[in-house]
Structure 1
Amino acid sequence: MLPMPNVSPAGPPMAASPLTVAVLEIDAYASNLGWDQPARLFALVDTAQLRVQEPSLAAQLGLEDPGSSVAALTPIEQDELPPGTALDDFLGTIAWPDAVVGCAMTVERLMLPPSAEASVPDGLSDKQLTQWVAKHPDRQEVRMTVAVLRDGARESAVRLREKDSPTEVLTGAGLVPGLAEALAATFES
């Protein structure tokens, strides 16, 4: 496991849930790394339990003071995803220990507006579709950060490359349902 530096976004909404705070923290971390990054996977652990069960890791992450205003969930970046492995295949290999209460992932993708769906040529393979989208004049580069908890809670943050600003991040539980489902499946036995 690679500890993620404690990076705070410009400030989460005042009534933000711990999961929303964690998603925004991961989004800010990914933003600091810049664009054209590989997908990144994070374990989400309960900060209070982390202090008790792993005090040296908590100290390394700057979480040793229980009186400080740290988030209730601590994201811990995992090792890099194996190069050349399909995301779905990789996620199917994950098993989390009980101490992990949730997980999150950041991925960059090209997206098209809904108006472009009608112009997609029929019969394209996945590779051909990817190439077609990459050449489409209305494509948008996005970074999606999706998190799920064992209890089923979900949150997402989506950032457009052309509007790369902490104030331009869209959040919501249902923004990236496919990735949320895939992450939730990592907790199924």
Structure 2
Amino acid sequence: MTSSDDSAGAGFSQADLGNALAQCLAYASDLPWGSAPTLFALVPTAVLASQAPGLVDPGDDSALSPVVQETSTADLEELLTTVAWPEQVVGSAVVTEITLLPPDAEADLDAALEPLLADPDAADEAARRAAHSHPERKTARLAAGVLRTGQRVALLALREGEQQSGDLQTHPDIAPNLLDALAETLHG
């Protein structure tokens, strides 16, 4: 692979992206629940090893390395609308906490939102309160990532007590809006 291929993100597979997201979730598993979203630059491990050899374990054979970014905001929307990446970054990822509800919870959310539909901020806040108070809710960490070439993956790790499950789940329809926002950080 040439360095121009590295900077364009060519040659990386969906599995490479999934492995990088698993590394992001492993990093987040050491953070307390309730932490702010964590943003990562996805860099070809070979590029990182040549530019900053001290950051890469000599035995690391992963195609992509997530590099955690220091951020000044905990607001995910603000974070994703203000970030821009240099060419060496072939992808971006974020880990954030979400609340999962069973399919039959939609009626409960509709009842909480209906009186507030004219005020989107109030409706969002009501939806969050209803979700967080639902007796069948589950908390999870969501890792979402995209590459410049268009590959996208989202992984979920459920909360088990104070720990993060090692069992990662994915589905093609998880977090499409978040994946779109991440893609914009690469092309915007």
Q: Secondary structure at the match of 2:90?
A: strand
Do residues 22 (structure 1) and 20 (structure 2) align? yes
Give 1:71's aligned amino acid.
S
Change (3 A) 1:104 1:90: same
Q: Give the deviation of 1:81 after TM superposition.
A: 4.2
Do the aligned residues in 2 keep the contact of 1:40 with 1:81 (CA within 8 Å)? Answer: no
Do the aligned residues in 2 keep the contact of 1:155 with 1:174 (CA within 8 Å)? Answer: no
Aligned mate of 2:53, from 35, 54, 58 = 58
TM-score (normalised: structure 1): 0.79
Change (3 A) 1:183 1:16: closer
Do the aligned residues in 1 keep the contact of 2:48 with 2:56 (CA within 8 Å)? Answer: no
Give 1:39-50 correspondences, 5 Å limit: 39-50=37-48
Unmatched 5+ stretches in structure 1: 1-14
Unmatched 5+ stretches in structure 2: 1-12, 117-122
> Counterparts of 1:154 and 1:46 in 2: how far apart (Å)?
16
Moved over 3 A (4+): none
Do the aligned residues in 1 keep the contact of 2:14 with 2:153 (CA within 8 Å)? Answer: no
Higher helix share goes to which structure? 2
Q: Secondary structure at the match of 1:132?
A: helix
Q: Give the deviation of 1:41 after TM superposition.
A: 0.1
Q: Percent identity?
A: 36
Give 1:1-189 correspondences, 5 Å limit: 17-52=15-50, 54=51, 57-59=52-54, 61-63=55-57, 65=58, 68-83=59-74, 86-120=75-109, 121=111, 122-124=114-116, 125-162=123-160, 164-166=164-166, 168-189=167-188
Do the aligned residues in 2 keep the contact of 1:96 with 1:186 (CA within 8 Å)? Answer: yes
Equivalent residue number for residue 7 of structure 2: none
TM-score (normalised: structure 2): 0.79
> Counterparts of 2:68 and 2:128 in 1: how far apart (Å)?
28
Aligned length: 165
Q: Give the deviation of 1:182 after TM superposition.
A: 0.8
Q: Secondary structure at the match of 1:161?
A: strand
